[in-house]
Amino acid sequence: MQFKGEYKDVLETREAMAREKMRHAVLCAFCHVVQTTGLKPMAVLGLAASAIGAIYKDVATAHICNDDCPCGWEPQTDPDIEALQRAIAMEAKQYTDLRWLKVAGKA
């Protein structure tokens, strides 16, 4: 049983490191595009979301058309896209909630 707990800890640590790496990479790309194009933040965030959708399509297509990958992922477009949308909403709403807390704290 302890082995399962340690394995879970390893997975959580690995996921936390991956989350931070992705956040850093996307933030760097976001800042670079904002500074070099003059586009507004929401336009650039829309481009980032489109890029995620395009990456999803490419990777899912590769898994559907070619079962050589050992990871075992079987793409299911609707639930997969709903999961991606939920992930965006969850993170974005945490930020929004913090802003409300800040405003409420000043009242």
Rounded CA-CA distance 107/96 in Å is: 17
User: Rounded to an integer, what distance in angstroms lies between the CA atom of residue 94 and that of residue 87?
Assistant: 11
Q: Minimal distance in Å, beta carbon 45 to Zn ion?
A: 28
CA–CA dist 69, 73 (Å, integer): 8
Q: Does 64 bind Zn ion (CB under 5 A)?
A: no
Determine the Cα–Cα distance for residues 75 and 60; give it in Å rounded to an integer: 6
Cβ-based nearer residue to Zn ion, 69 or 92: 69
- We find the least distance from the C-beta atom of residue 63 to Zn ion, in angstroms, to be 5
Shortest Cβ distance from residue 61 to Zn ion (Å)? 12
In the list 71, 90, 103, 107, the residue contacting Zn ion (rule: CB under 5 A) is 71
19 secondary structure, DSSP code: H
Of these, 11, 55, 64, 69, which contacts Zn ion (CB under 5 A)? 69
| Binding residues vs Zn ion (CB under 5 A) | 69, 71, 73
